[in-house]
Amino acid sequence: MLDIILEIADDPSIRPLTPRESWQIDKLQASREAIFRVLQEQGPDKKKYRNQPHKYGLTLKKACQLRVERLTVLKQPKTTISKIWLAYNRLIKFNDGKDLLVSSIKPSLVFRHIEDLRLSGFSSVTVSNDLSYLNLTFKYVHMLGYLEADAINPFIGHSFEAFDGPVVRQSFTPSQIELLLREAKDDLDLTQAIYVAYYTGARIDEIFTARIIQRDDHMAFSIKESGGKTASSTRIIPVSTHLSTALTNLGIGLKHNTYLSWKSKTSASLGARFARLKKLVLEREGILGHADKLVFHSFRHGFITDLFQKLYPEIMISELTGHSKSSKAKTESGRVYLGGFTAKQMIEMVEAISPIPSPSMLRHSLRSLQNRH
């Protein structure tokens, strides 16, 4: 089928292609190798696939692989790719670990999966995102001709009315942050993540991929869209004096055009480790019931709250946090001209963040406590 389309596209007797048609042809050509590779792999040899119950046809796992390969060619963020696999893994776990033939997935199965996630405590946002990624994967393989033209997309048309409303996040208190740092004192990954998140307001995936740069005589983190959430996430966050001191105490030197070193393989695994640390601390505090309101994102919440309390305008704060400016400046002039704040102003803001105990201060207080006993 692809050969026929491409042959027609090259036929000079047919009218010239429109720009949209040319773009569609380019997409087909870019996808050919991936398609042929999967078709060659999906033969009667069942041993090639673990958890593969079908000898023929496209499985959801292969569909996701096709989609991921396409997104990789388009240089889409790694976070997007990882979320496709998270959505896949959650659905397959619900299906007793067995892969599914894409054409066999019914809306009723997806509905039961949604209910299972809801009862397991997942938010409507997480479940909606899962369905969105699986929906786009379904549409992609449908476009490639793997499914019948009238195939029903099982991932659309679902309601989330039964879910609880969005959880209102809280900021960690200074004492809670100190307890987290004390408990994480032997874990460099968690300790540096807490300090960087607290003093920059960056998301965990942004911290994990941020590049360290030097502007004039000041160090900063360069947050790119690939590590952020939206195009607005691309920004520069200066390193404050307090953060620099904390990292130096940890033996971490900031050098131009380098990255923070992590033992964790992904930001998701780092986030999971923080969740375990948080649960331990909150359990000791007797406030485990607040666990859903206190998460890694709470550091970002605290960063923004601190700057608001120090009377910095929202449009300036958005320059540091990467929130869209279109919603902060109500006029066109505000959207265009209020974004160009100076480096001096950005440094002033990060320096204004209320300090937390540095690693050396924590070690000193721990030794003093031990000497008393």
- Residues 219-264: tens digit of each pLDDT: 999 997 444 455 557 889 999 999 999 999 999 999 999 999 999 9
Residue 317, domain extent:
174-372
**Whether residue 241 is found in the same domain as residue 318:** yes
Q: What local confidence, expressed as pLDDT, does residue 29 receive?
A: 60
Dist. CA 183–CA 177, nearest whole Å? 10
Whole-number Å distance between alpha carbons of 325 and 318: 7
Domain assignment present for 15: no
Mean pLDDT of 96-125: 90
Q: pLDDT-based confidence at 80, cuts 50/70/90? A: confident
Q: How confident is the model at residue 52 (pLDDT cuts 50, 70, 90)?
A: very low
Question: Mean pLDDT, the chain, as a whole number?
Answer: 81
Q: Are residues 136 and 188 in the same domain?
A: no
Exposed / middle / buried, residue 47 (Cβ in 10 Å: 0-12, 13-18, 19+): exposed
Residues 246 and 290 in one domain: yes
In a shared domain, residues 88 and 188: no
- The CATH number covering residue 87 comes to 1.10.150
d(Cα 196, Cα 350) in Å, to the nearest integer?
11
Q: Are residues 101 and 250 in the same domain?
A: no
What total of structural domains would you count in the chain? 2
Q: Which of 143, 163, 189 is the last residue of a domain?
A: 143
**187 and 294 co-located in one domain:** yes
In a domain, 30, yes or no: no
List beta partners, residue 179: none
Question: Quick one: CA dihedral 92, 94, 95, 98, positive or negative?
Answer: positive
Which residues have C-beta within 8 Å of that of residue 296, sequence separation ≥ 6? 193, 197, 204, 271, 274, 275, 278
Q: Does 12 map to a domain?
A: no
135 Cβ partners below 8 Å, 6+ apart? 153, 155, 156
CATH code assigned at 356: 1.10.443
Confidence band of 268 (pLDDT split at 50, 70, 90): confident
pLDDT at residue 46 is higher than 50: no
Does the residue 31 lie in any domain? no
Residues belonging to the chain: 373
Residue 4 has pLDDT above 80, yes or no: no
Does residue 295 sit in the same domain as residue 241?
yes
Percent of the chain with pLDDT over 70: 74
Q: Are residues 125 and 178 in the same domain?
A: no
3-state secondary structure of 187: coil
Q: What CA–CA distance (Å, rounded) separates 357 from 222?
A: 25
Query: Is 2 among the domain residues?
Result: no
Q: Model's pTM, two decimal places?
A: 0.60
Phi, psi of 35 (to 5 degrees): -65, -50
Report pLDDT for 51. 42
Angular region, 286: left φ>0, alpha ψ -120 to 50, beta rest: left
